[in-house]
Amino acid sequence: MHPMDQLGTYSNQFNASAWMIALRLAVIAFVAWRLAGPIESFFWKRQLPEKANRTGIVIFIAILAFLVLFSAGALRHLTFHSKAWDLAIFDQVVWNLANGNGWECSVRGVIDLRGDHFSPILLIFVPFYKIAPHVFWLLGFQAAALIGAGLILWAVYRKEIGERVALMFFIAYCLFPPIHWLACADFHPIAIAPFFVAIAWWGRKRDNITAFIAGIIGMTLCGEEAFIVAGWWGLWEFFERSPWRRIKSEKTMTRRNVGWVGLFIMAFCWTIFIWLSLVYIPAHRAEGEGYFYVHRYAYLGDSVGEIALNFFVKPGLWLSHVFDMRSFALLALYIVPLGFLPLTRLGISALLIPTALYTLISVSPEQKSIYHQYTAMWIPFLAIATVDSLHTMRYAGVSVPKSVMDDFTVLSLRRASMLVVAAVLGFLAFSPIFGLSGHPEWFTPEEWAGEAKGVVESVPPDAAISAPSALCPHLSHRPVLLLKPETEWQGAYEVLV
């Protein structure tokens, strides 16, 4: 197979050949680099007021971005483009929880969804489903969490990088294509995790241990894979804070405490992940079944323990998966629309190592794409590395000559200019909502939508039925709903005897 042939599914999603995708990425990189200087000069020469408060503008952009993401997900659902996997799955589970039926999920084919994933964050939707059960709660919270993460990072860094540069970062964040693809991929609990990652980062930046731990807890409630990331983050904090060093001030004491907390988080989270994958999740599956997602790493072993062992002792088994064309394409699609800025903060980008590994060594092509839920744990850390790369020397409280400060301010503004150009071009080239990769067919009714709406309205509310995937998200408020094997519209449902 030719290396470029590995990008076949990308070609379908981006409405372009593999070579055209590569050309788009190259054009974005070149144009962003060339225009960064002129744009920086435009702002610098006109001496636009740096201290002007731009909170109102940011809030307006945040609301607009939320409405766009929520509307994209809602329109896909209303026009019968949402699917059983995964909107109907989580909608039925929350409805069952709200109606006292536990974690049952007949759409997924499991008695207890806890045998598939660890996602207690779903419990926050139960009160809303008791008031008015609808998938819009799921899609709305997901869109709010994605935009809220960027809003928190803007608030954390606005004084360090200045109002103007902070605004430019937030605009770029809202234009980031993986966020749009995630919003168009139905609903997934892990998509809420970026919000909690941002809270945890706010806590560690402010040396607020309570907020840091709260954010870590929140992200781990969104999915079992978050425990892997949280444990690595704890280890990263331990070495970053160096708590074994000699205490020089009260601030150093706080930093040391965060370091020790990080070490505890590492031990606790990795222990919990092992327990979840070996005990808790299999206990909620049929007898004899293990952790379902082991099959994605079957070439490394048949169990979590065997996979972990071979990962360390036989790296040759997985290195070819990490360094294939699809992996490089995925990294380019993450990095280029951010103007390569995460590469200037490799220390922070190191927080992505566990996410990158369990993504890139998987044999599942869906995990190596920006149009599935697997982008969720990439987005916040890429955003953090990006915004951190924009800060000037002001953040350290160091007194320096104005000429030196100006040099750093120019560098920050130039990077921000490159970021915005790359973000705008990346949005036009790769967003599913608008531009060259746009999918207007996702937001317009199918030819059979009128017939499908009539079918949905005719289904008895308490009937146990099987239905095609396109109907399942519209019929999931019932204890028994099975997915018909057909993937295309079949024109009818079946009542189960």
127-159 pLDDT tens trace = 999 999 999 999 999 999 999 999 999 999 998
Predicted local confidence at residue 435, as pLDDT: 87
Confidence band, pLDDT 50/70/90 cuts, at residue 403: very low
DSSP assignment, residue 379? Answer: H
Q: What is the mean pLDDT of residues 410-437?
A: 89
Q: Hey, which residues does 110 pair with through a beta bridge?
A: 105
Confidence (pLDDT) at 393: 40
Please list the helix, strand and coil fractions of the chain in percent, rounded to the nearest 5, in that order: 70, 0, 30
Residue 472 has phi, psi (to 5 degrees) of -55, -45
* The pLDDT value given to residue 467: 85
| Residue 237, C-beta contacts closer than 8 angstroms, at least 6 positions apart | 204, 258, 259, 261, 262, 263, 265
Give the SS3 label for residue 204.
Answer: helix
**Mean pLDDT value of segment 29-33:** 93
Choice among 51-55, 89-93, 276-280, 319-323 with the minimum mean pLDDT = 51-55
- Rounded CA-CA distance 453/464 in Å is 18
Task: Answer yes or no: is pLDDT of 496 > 80.
Answer: no
Tell me if residue 397 falls in helix, strand or coil: coil
pLDDT band at 492 (very low <50, low <70, confident <90, very high): low
Q: Closest by alpha carbon to 470, among 457, 454, 483?
A: 483
CA distances from 208 to 201, 219, 247 (A): 10, 17, 18
Q: Which helix (H) or strand (E) holds 495?
A: strand 494-495
The two structure tokens encoding residue 189 = 């609990």
DSSP structure string for 429-487? HH-SSSSTT--GGGGS--TTHHHHHHHHHHS-TT--EEE-TTTGGGS-SSS-EEE-S--
| Separation of alpha carbons 5 and 362, rounded Å | 18
The whole-number pLDDT of residue 369 equals 85
What is the predicted pLDDT for the residue at 450?
Answer: 83
Confidence bin at 52 (pLDDT 50/70/90): low
- Nearest Cα residue to 146 out of 170, 166, 122: 170
Please say whether the beta carbons of 361 and 318 come within 8 A.
Answer: yes
Strands 494-495, 481-483: pairing kind: unpaired
Predicted local confidence at residue 2, as pLDDT: 46
**Does the pLDDT at position 191 exceed 60?**
yes
Among 383, 405, 385, which residue's Cα sits nearest to residue 396?
405
Over the stretch 307-339, which tens digit does the pLDDT of each residue have? Answer: 999 999 999 999 988 888 888 999 999 999 999
pLDDT at 400: 38
Please report the pLDDT score of residue 256 as a whole number: 73
On the CB side of 78, how many CA atoms lie within 13 Å of its CA?
Answer: 10
The pair of structure tokens assigned to 83 is 């699917």
Q: 430 CB contacts (<8 Å, ≥6 apart)? A: 14, 24, 177, 333, 337, 370, 436, 437
